[in-house]
Each structure stands twice: as C-alpha cells, then as structure tokens.
Amino acid sequence: MRRPFVRALNGSLVLAVVAGVIPLVSAAPVAAGSVVVGGFPVDISEGPWNVALSSRDRFGGTRAGQYCGGVAVSRTVVLTAAHCMGADVLGAPPNRVRDLKVIAGRTDLLSDQGQEIPVRDTWVNPGYDTSTNAGDFAVLRLAEPLAGSSVVTMASAGDAAYEPGTAAVVYGWGDATGGGDYARSLRAAHVHVLADALCERAYPGGDDGTYASGAMLCAGEAEGGGDACQGDSGGPLVAQGKLVGLVSWGSGCGRPGSPGVYTRVSDVVRALGWGRGLRGPHAVP
C-alpha cells in the first residue's frame, strides 16, 4: 500500500511525471493495493461512480494526466483523498492548478469515452493530519454535472457493510503490480473488510502513520493479495453496493500483514454533516 500516497510521491513523483504516470500518495509504496495489485480489468459501466483526477500540465499526457482517483457522491460532487490535493503533489494549491479535471465515464484513460470536467472548487479537510493520516478526505465541486447514473450511495455509521469479513471491491487506474506498472484501463480487486485490531497491530504509529478506527477502515487480505497501490489514492472501496472507504495509505501493496487503510466514509459523512441534511458549503445537491 501506500502511506498517504503523497509522501511516497515526493521522491518518485519526478520520475512518475517524466513517465506520464503518478502514484498515489503513500507511506511506503502507496496505500490500497494497487487496485489493483492482484486485480482484474473492469469496464466503467460496472462502477460508473469511479473518476480519475487529472492534470496534464503536471503529470503529462501519457495517461491523460491521471494521478489519483475519486468517487462521485452526487452529480456535481466528488470525494477524494486530501493528500491528492497537496501542493507537494500538484506543485501548487489545488485552486491554482489551471487544468485540474475529473475524467468520468471512461474505462481506458486514452480513449475519448465519457467526460472531462473541470473542477470548479476544492475543499480539503483542514483537520487532515499528515502524521497519522487521519481525516484524509477532500471535496471537489464540478463545473458541470455528471450523468445521473454515475453516483454511489455512501454507507452511514452502523451499516452492515462495515462489518469485518464483508466482501468489498477497490477500484483504480494505479500500479497493478506494486512495481510501477500503471494501468491505462480501470481495474478492480476483491478484498474484505478486516477487523480494526489487525490494522492497529500493523500500524501502531510510526513513519507510515497511525491506525485510528474511528476515522479509518482496514481492508485487504490478512495473507496479502488484492490491494490498492500508487495511483489509486482517493478511489472507492465499495461493499454491498455502498461506498465505505477512500483509498488512503498503507505499507507496500498487497503485502502479508500490511492491509490497506482507507478513510472511513461514515466519518466523512459525520464531519461534513451530510447525514443531518446540511445545507451550506458542504451540502450534497
């Protein structure tokens, strides 16, 4: 996995940019199993809420400027990882990146399928802790709406989808092997929601981060295997048809004893007041 992928990007970012590829931010490799490490190809129609974050100015055109993932939670609102919006990744604050876009409805990044929509506004969680990786989420507002079918339901607190043992799927266009083999087409990996205790043992505190069950979700396979990886940051973890996590961080990709750590979506809903029908700057239309 990755630590917050952004840290991992610092050293490898320059090489990734030269190659036209950008890894997710992560502590060691980037977090969430290469979504695809141990994964398989899927068509965007199987997960239409998947979007790619893109800046060709920053990351080149080899992969349409894709460097992170995101997920549509309304026709004009996308959730992603806070570390994907860092100036250390984008080269400037996100509101100063002229060509920051969301690519939606596209399986192959280099096809003309779907839409490329400019990001109108960004809000990065001010409580994001780069030391522990807690609060790793950001809200992007789009300049024009996505297709109505491109929205996923967010799982609220207490939903059975968060129960350990629940089958889940993580998606992305990131590293598919953990060795820098970035996918051009969307991939997915089957994983399971894991007990918090497993990630608490794996990440008790250190350079990678500190697992906090209230804000994070542990997922993957205890023996290693399917996982997200560099370039998958901010992408969705879906269980029982609902969004439960955002690819955030980890140590390596698909390693035994080092599960992927995801931002817990119920904590995002709580922090933004979406479960209370909030009306205001963070409201979901």
Active-site amino acid positions: 83, 136, 233
| First CA to last CA distance, the chain | 33
Phi, psi values for residue 265, rounded to 5°? -65, -35
- Residue 163 has a CB neighbour count (10 Å cut-off) of 12
Distances, alpha carbon 282 to alpha carbons 72, 111, 169, 259, in Å: 14, 33, 27, 31
Phi, psi values for residue 17, rounded to 5°? -65, -45
What span, in angstroms and rounded, lies between the C-alpha atoms of 15 and 11? Answer: 8
Find the length of the chain: 285
Pick from 28, 102, 58: nearest CA to 259: 28
Relative to beta strand 50-54, strand 66-72 is antiparallel
